[in-house]
């Protein structure tokens, strides 16, 4: 089994907590995505944390209590049942993100996140690319087009911001 990315050990986060942060750094997730059995599938990696469901519940509650995660209770779409269920969604706070950055030292110049969705009744495809520079965004768009993931459509709008945000 491949090992997780290296860490600096600059914080007192456990290895399991850091692996949860790796998954949560740019998105909100529900409990079932974070389970040990499901982590590697949803994270698309060959490793997982070692927390049982009971330990995961305790760890998430601890991270919320320490101010590193926010927890929202509400409706969650479950693809398995094709229905909404009541559940908790976890999102990293700025404090949690700060600790994650200290441990992983991300190179934000290499960060790219994409989202695609349909808009309106005419099913116009929208694509959001979040990255540090316009050049990287255009290279990503070109790669997506070359790979056949998207078709050329309409204008490109560029917004300049400080940091990557949730997709």
Beta carbons of 115 and 127 less than 8 angstroms apart: yes
- Is this structure's pTM higher than 0.85? no
- Which pLDDT score, from 0 to 100, does residue 36 have? 95
Provide the residue-wise pLDDT of the chain in tens; the chain has 167 residues: 578 999 999 999 999 999 999 999 989 999 989 999 999 998 889 999 999 999 999 999 999 999 999 999 999 888 778 888 899 999 999 999 999 999 999 998 888 888 888 777 777 788 888 888 889 999 999 999 999 888 877 778 888 765 544 44
Beta carbons of 91 and 82 less than 8 angstroms apart: no
CATH of domain 15-104: 1.10.10.10
7 — alpha (psi -120 to 50), left (phi > 0) or beta?
A: beta
- Domain ranges across the chain: 15-104, 107-167
- Which pLDDT score, from 0 to 100, does residue 79 have? 77
Integer-rounded Cα radius of gyration of the chain: 18
């Amino acid at each position: 089994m491949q090992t997780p990315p290296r860490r600096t050990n600059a914080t007192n986060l456990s290895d399991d907590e850091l692996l949860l942060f790796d998954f949560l750094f740019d998105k909100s997730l529900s409990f079932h995505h974070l389970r040990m059995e499901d982590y590697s599938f949803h994270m698309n990696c060959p490793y997982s944390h070692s927390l049982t469901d009971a330990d995961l519940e305790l760890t998430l509650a601890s991270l919320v209590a320490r101010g590193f995660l926010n927890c929202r209770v509400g409706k969650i779409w479950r693809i398995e049942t094709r229905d909404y269920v009541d559940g908790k969604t976890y999102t990293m706070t700025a404090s949690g993100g700060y600790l994650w950055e200290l441990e992983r030292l991300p190179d934000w110049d290499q960060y790219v996140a994409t989202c695609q969705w349909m808009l309106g009744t005419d099913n116009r495809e929208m694509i959001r690319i979040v990255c540090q520079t316009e050049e990287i965004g255009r290279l990503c768009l070109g790669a997506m087009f070359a790979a056949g993931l998207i078709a050329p459509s309409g204008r490109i709008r560029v917004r300049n911001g400080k940091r990557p945000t949730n997709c």
